[in-house]
Structures are given as C-alpha cells and as structure tokens.
Structure 1
Amino acid sequence: MAFERFPLRRLTEHPKNTLDRRIWPATLAPVTTILDEGLDLGPATVLVGENGSGKSTIVEAIALAYGLSPEGGSTGARHSTRSTESVLADHLQLVRNAGATRRGYFLRAETMHGFFTYLESNPSTTGPNVPFHEMSHGESFLELVVDRFRGPGLWVLDEPESALSFSGCLALLGVLKELVASGKSQVIMSTHSPLLAALPQAQILEVGSWGLRPRPWEDLNLVTAWQAFLTAPERYLRHL
C-alpha cells in the first residue's frame, strides 16, 4: 500500500469506551454502522442524505474527536456558546496515518455568525484580520475558506452550501479540489448540494435508514431528484 499523507485512515468505535446502542445517537443507523463496522477514509468523503439522517452528527463527531472546536475553527479555537454536541465523539477512535499533519479546520454553516464575532474578538497576531461582518454571508464564508484552508490538514465542512450561491459553490469546490489534489489534505463534508457532492476523488456515502452506502454521483437520490425537478418543475409544484 502506498504511504498516505492525509491525516485520517479510519474511524472505529473506541474499544475502551463503547456506546450503548439503545441511546441516541447510536440509534441512528449510520452511526451504528460506523460503530459496528468502522469506516475507511480516503482523501475526500462526502455524506449526503435527508435532514435528520445523521450526517451532520457524524461530521461533527469526527471534528471533535480530531480536536477541532465544535462551533467552528481550528484545534486552537475555543469559541462556544451553547453546547449541543452529541456524545459520539467520545466513543470514536481515529486511526491516523503515520507522519501526517495534525492541522485542521471545521466550518459549519449554522454557527458562522457567532464564529465570525469570535474571530473579530480574538484577532490574529501573525497576519491580516478579515472584517467578516462587513461582508455578505456567502462572501465571508468563502473568504474564511481561502484564508484558513491552506496547506496540509483535515478540512471538515457541515452543509457549507447554506451560505453560498451556485457560483459560490463552484468557487468552494475549486478550493477543495486543489486541497485534495495535493495529496496532503483531506476533506470530510456533509451536503445537500449535488454540485459539492461532485468533488473529485471523493467517496460519496448516502446516509439513511439503511446506514451508509457508497453510491456513484449520478445514482444519488439527491442528484436524480434535482434533475427531475429541473426538467419538469410543474410535476412537483402542482402537488404542493
């Protein structure tokens, strides 16, 4: 096997801290799949699925287990408003690739406003500070990605399309594509966007009551539903 340079190789349940399968979030089928079978990770992993399926719970737990701030940021960020994280991170064991970087960053759309305030209240001492609150939501999100997602690292994103237009998603996809192509960075992302799900080199996992299933991009429910709507929106609108 070739020596991998990106941070994480596999997720497993922590052997000394197992999670009761009767307690949430172990009651979610995708979480049970990871705890029972583990999950191999490549340069990029994209989780897609309906609201409430468990994809954000999994992404959040990976970020926390890696040492990233639950409301966004790097391993050094200490921003916290109201703790709502699941206990899953405490029960995961991350299998790291030998010699890989421990840098990383977590971006989640639902906490960005408070996180920008945290960044402005804790200015950088090593570089320029970006006035995020003076930008639109999408502009500030992309600026943060460009400013912080540099070099080797684990880059974790939870539904980033919430802040972005079509062209904004394309711009983000370009940044992530270059990071993955470097061979030293790794992307883990949950998304409802068929555009972002098309990230090159990504393992796409469809999340649902079945657990986790690898799917080609063109066979995703997410993709076929959008294609059907864009082809004939009236078929959907008359049933609303």
Structure 2
Amino acid sequence: MSTSEPTYQSKHPPFAVTVDLVVLALRPVESADRAGRLGLDVVLIERGEAPHLGALALPGGFVHVDEDLEAAAYRELEEETGLRPSDVRLAQLGAYGSPGRDPRMRTVSVAWLAFGRVDRTPHAGSDARAAHWLPADRLPADLAFDHAKILHDAVAQARTQVQDVRVAASFLPPVFTLSQLRRVYEAVWGLELDAPNFQRRILALTGGAAGDQRPLLRTEADGIVDTTTSRRSKHVLKLNPRAHDLPTQSCRFDLPR
C-alpha cells in the first residue's frame, strides 16, 4: 500500500492570499512655516523586484500555505521594514480582491492597520529596496497594485476611530497637554481646530479623580512644557485607568461640522 500523501484536484483555479500593512503615525512636520505641527505619516517601501519594480508600495507579501494571517502580517512587517510586533499592534482593515490587482496571478489581500506612537525608523529588508515614513496626504496616486485604495480606506478608518478620545490619546505619551491632543486631531483630520472651542469640548470629557466616569483625567504635573508650543501648560491630562470600561459614546469628540 502506498504511504504517499493524497493529492487533490479541484475545478476551481488556484489563487494566492497576501497581506498588506498600513502603519500610520504622527510625526513632526519638516517645514519651517509649520513648526510644532504634526503630520500623519505612513510607512512605504520601494519595491526591489517586479512587478512594479522601484515603485512605492505598502509593506506586505504572500501568506505561506501553513501560516496564520496575523503571523504573516507581522512577519512581512518585520522583514520589509524592520518594525517588530512590540512596535505596533495590527488590526484587520479589510480584504481586497479585484481581479487583475496583481499581474502575477489572482490574489486576495487582507489589509492590516496600525496607528499610534511609532518612534522607530523603518529599515528595508527582504525584497524591499528602501523603507520610509512619508506624508499620507501627499503621496503619488500611482502606488503599486491597489495600494492607493487601501491607504485611502485606512486613513478614513483612522479618522473615524480617532473620534474616540481614547484612540486619539494612543498617539501621545502617557501624560500630555491639551494642545498636544489638539495637534493629534488636526493631523489626522487634516484641518485646523478652533483652540477655545476644542478646550471647552475636551474639558467636558475630563474628570479629576480615577473613579470618574470620564475618559480623561487632569493630572498634577507642574512645569510640564508643551512640545507643540514650548510653553508651560495648565491643562495636563492622562487617560483614566478605567477608560477602557467606559461606553464609546461617553468618549467621543466628534469632527466639527
């Protein structure tokens, strides 16, 4: 009796599964006229092989036949950018499977999104020539594959999720100022907010004790210097330790109309 593994035939043509990674972070804008401002940046690689040789693309690649999707996403992230699982936490954004999206063969990609405090500089590896932080709102439309569409969806998702002040605070150090928080919203939403109105609305989400049912707490931090203004701030905040237990509606700061 033969002990060889059985082979299977199917009337369905084979196709591949890939992962694409959108890593967003807030980083200082390198512009003299926008000193102190933050911009929304994304990690992009320069492809080192065909198709789209030399084009900018999201990090990503093929899922191994015996590999979990999330494991593949973190593996590709580290191989192509040098960023590690300890640097970012990925969450599924969506699936993309338009016929012809990859000229090599029929592929379906599971896209992943991460955003928050990411301080490390990416380093290219694997089949990437280079890896860079680049402004998410000033990229060429001809990214490789359908990556412009994936990036557009990821930024839209980030803009929706940041309406939860707990998510906005994830871009900042554990203790932050009101101005720093406003810069987060301005960078993600791509607009300038009225400072007095922002202060009034955010302070309404701020309590004074850990048992408070509001997501932010005022904290004692005399002399803290606001990195966006280089001035001492009287409004120093931190996340309430109980913030994750609060209902989403009580943590919302909505986009001004």
Please tell me the TM-score bracket, short chain as reference.
Answer: under 0.3
| Greater fraction helix | 1
Structure showing greater Rg: 2
| Greater fraction strand | 2
Q: Which has the higher contact order (CA 8 A, sep 6+)?
A: 1
The two structures have a TM-score, normalised by structure 1, of 0.26
